[in-house]
Amino acid sequence: MIFLLKEVKIPGPPDLPKMVNHTNIFFIIITAITSFCISAPSYAQNKTDTLKEVKVNARHNPSSDVKVNEFSPGQKVKTIDSTTLQQYQMQNMANLLTQQVPVFVKSYGFNSLATLNFRGSSAAQSMVLWNGIPIQNAALGIADVSTLPVLFMSNVNIVYGGSAALWGSGNVGGALLLEHEKPFFDSGKKSLSVSGGIGSFSQYAGGLKGSISGKRWYLSANVFAQTAVNNFSYTNAGLQKNMPNDHLQSAAGLVHTAYKINHQNVVSLSAWYQQYDRQIPPTLFEASSGKKQTDGSLRLLADWKRQTEKNTWYAKTSFIRDGVNYADTAVQIKSENITCQYYQELGWKKQFHEYGQLLLFMPLQIAWNSIPAASDTQRQNKTALATAYDLKLFDSRLNIAVNARGERINTHSILLPGADASFAITHWLMARGNLQRTYRTPTLNELYYFPGGNTSLKPEQGWNEDAGYTLKIKPGNFTFYHDLSVYNRDIHDWIIWLGGAIWTPHNIAEVHSRGVETENNISYATGNWKFHFGVNTAYVLATAVSSYIYNDGSIGKQIPYTPRYNGQANIGAGYKQLSVNYNHTYTGYRFITTDESAWLPPYQTGNVQLMYITSISRHSLQFTGQCNNIWNQQYEVVGSRPMPGVNWLLGCKLGIL
């Protein structure tokens, strides 16, 4: 496996050298990490009495989905811990991922769309799944993570790298896996909590979460609502202004019920509805804005699972309806776009012996998009048969998984094979590798949107390889954790939107993405005290290798809105039920044109989180506080879309039962 990181000329920013030698940077990183790894074993030899108890596992059951838990041992998976989820319970997924995960979140502003960019992939190449079903808008091919409330989820995992065989065509860069609380069956057990928040720019939020169960049944409900004005100040052409047309209102509800037929069979039903009403502020080059958008989503899911000693059967059926109403009073535009998708999956897992298991499943996805004004409906059908086999050898130190999917998209068929593996070299060091074929067919909007759709688009396809290792040692009260990943991806017929008054998607021939990611953490615990320090880094080089557009200047240049450097640092302490954390984020240059002729400067933000948990009588009480962008950095994630300066949010959660 060869990863090429070559010199790239940067034609512009005056505060950077004209030539950045990325090869040198890469070798510096590798040398530092190698030195750390060499010193770690020698230290371990001197402390064998403590390291005997430490084991590196491929995964600590981050998800209830067997695909990620048992059939993808060689993929990198990042699990958001429960403490972090509690800290961000009054916020959305975009804020959580921006501050805590080395993935670039492309935010169009405080009231606007936010999408994911995994390892230099496009937003349409990143998947978001809820309890195993895809929830991206079927027409757009993307999910707006700014509309997903953290409060609803008890499990959040990020899978890096593509695995189209397991997750389906479209999974090129990675996936965000979301799960609500699992049902429990305990007669008379009840829980109820009320939460509220208040913050800058007239932010108000409230949530209600409750559950009740019996020996055979379970019922839970979550409600969340928020409102904000978002009239923060910003500077444009030397003048300070307050953001106009900036109101936001949203409400969401999630109901989950389950019934335990017997000790082997459980059925469940889930319904999730949310509505997001927001005014869209003007860009820096607009004098005013009359834009408004309402997003309404209904997600229904039915699930059955039967589990015996050697066999597991399951079936999932879901229906999702996404409605987008957009209006612009300035130019008298009003449009309504309704997209629906039906998803069904039948699966069977067989445990052959202690070290081998087989997964066979059949997904079906039907999507259709209707535009009432045009009296037109477009459809896309996907059917597939997929299988995966997992084998453990050498006392489970070596874990190998092979998988394959045959998928038919409308009238076109494609085979998507893959393989990955992990190997526990020692009790404290584990290596992994992943090889997958990737494929993404154009979305309904890319093909048929009017005006601008392009029915001549070719599907994106290529290969994805990544490898890495995880090191974890625990001498005394210290815990050292280090993870490194290197990856390489080559995609042909990459799709990108280009244009002026009318934007149209085009294939730009071939894009080569490669890079390095690290996660590093040191923690120390003594008595009632806990201390931690961590740094996450991401280096992404995603360049065009060839182009169908003559003389567009893109060859060898970074893909627009893909920062080469991205990272976060966290340092904090905890005493009993009190914890405080300082988070610092860095995002590097983002070129906004294919020829690198225009760019946005890097930006850094400092953020402080505080949480205290106590009890009153028999009721739990949790206080959270967060101050974002404490250094009042003026920055833009997307061109001409200013982001707010220093802002704060206070939250309180009362557990009544």
7: pLDDT strictly greater than 60: no
* 276 φ/ψ sector (left φ>0, alpha ψ -120 to 50, else beta): beta
Q: Are 324 and 294 in contact (CB under 8 A)?
A: yes
Peptide bond into 372 cis (omega under 30): no
Exposure string of 440-466, with b = 16+ CB inside 10 Å and e = fewer, is bbbbbbbbbbeeebbeebebbbbebbb
**Res. 561 pLDDT band, cuts 50 70 90:** very high
pLDDT for res 10: 39
- pLDDT, position 391: 96
Q: Does residue 121 register a pLDDT over 90?
A: yes
For the chain, domains (ranges, CATH) are: 8-655 (2.40.170.20)
Quote the pTM value.
0.90
- The one-letter amino acid at 267: V
**What confidence category does residue 62 fall into, taking pLDDT thresholds of 50, 70 and 90?**
low
Q: Does residue 40 surpass a pLDDT of 90? A: no
Q: Is 656 helix (H, G, I), strand (E, B) or coil?
A: coil
Q: pLDDT by residue (tens digit) across 450-469?
A: 788 899 999 999 999 999 99
Weakest-pLDDT range from 52-61, 242-251, 307-316, 410-419: 52-61
Strand ranges (E), 142-290: 155-160, 174-179, 190-199, 203-213, 217-228, 233-236, 239-242, 248-260, 265-280
Q: What is the per-residue pLDDT across 563-613, written as a single tens digit (0 to 9) for each?
A: 999 999 999 999 999 999 999 999 999 999 999 999 999 999 999 999 999
Residue 75 pLDDT exceeds 70: yes
Label each residue of 169-201 as H, E or C. Answer: CCCCCEEEEEECCCCCCCCCCEEEEEEEEEECC
Q: How far apart are CA 358 and CA 391, in angstroms?
A: 9
pLDDT surpassing 60 at residue 12: no
Q: CA-to-CA distance for 653 and 151, rounded, in angstroms? A: 11
Tens digit of pLDDT for each residue in 485-515? 999 999 999 999 887 778 899 998 999 999 9
Q: What is the C-alpha R_g of the chain? A: 25
Share of the chain above pLDDT 90, in %: 78
pLDDT for residue 9 is more than 70: no
CA distance 496 to 204: 38
pLDDT at 392 over 90: yes
Q: Could you tell me if residue 425 is left (phi over 0), alpha (psi between -120 and 50 degrees) or otherwise beta?
A: alpha
Q: Helices (H) and strands (E) in the chain — how many of each?
A: 7, 37
pLDDT in tens, 205-238: 999 999 999 999 999 999 999 999 999 999 888 8
Mean pLDDT of 353-368: 94
Using an 8 Å Cβ cutoff, are 311 and 348 in contact? yes
Phi, psi of 156, deg, nearest 5: -130, 120
Residue 41: enclosing H or E segment and its boundaries?
helix 22-46
CA of residue 253 relative to chain centroid, distance: 21
Output the pLDDT for position 44: 39
pLDDT tens per residue, range 146-204: 999 999 999 999 999 989 999 999 999 999 999 999 999 988 889 999 999 999 999 99
Q: What is the pLDDT of residues 407-462, one digit of tens each?
A: 999 999 999 999 999 999 999 999 999 999 999 999 999 998 878 889 999 999 99
Rounded-to-integer distance, Cα 513 and Cα 546, Å: 13
Residues 6+ positions from 332 with CB-CB distance below 8 Å: none
Rounded to whole angstroms, the Cα distance separating 100 from 53 reads 29
303-356 residue pLDDT tens: 999 999 999 999 999 999 999 999 998 888 888 889 999 999 999 999 998 889
Mean pLDDT score of the chain, rounded to an integer? Answer: 89
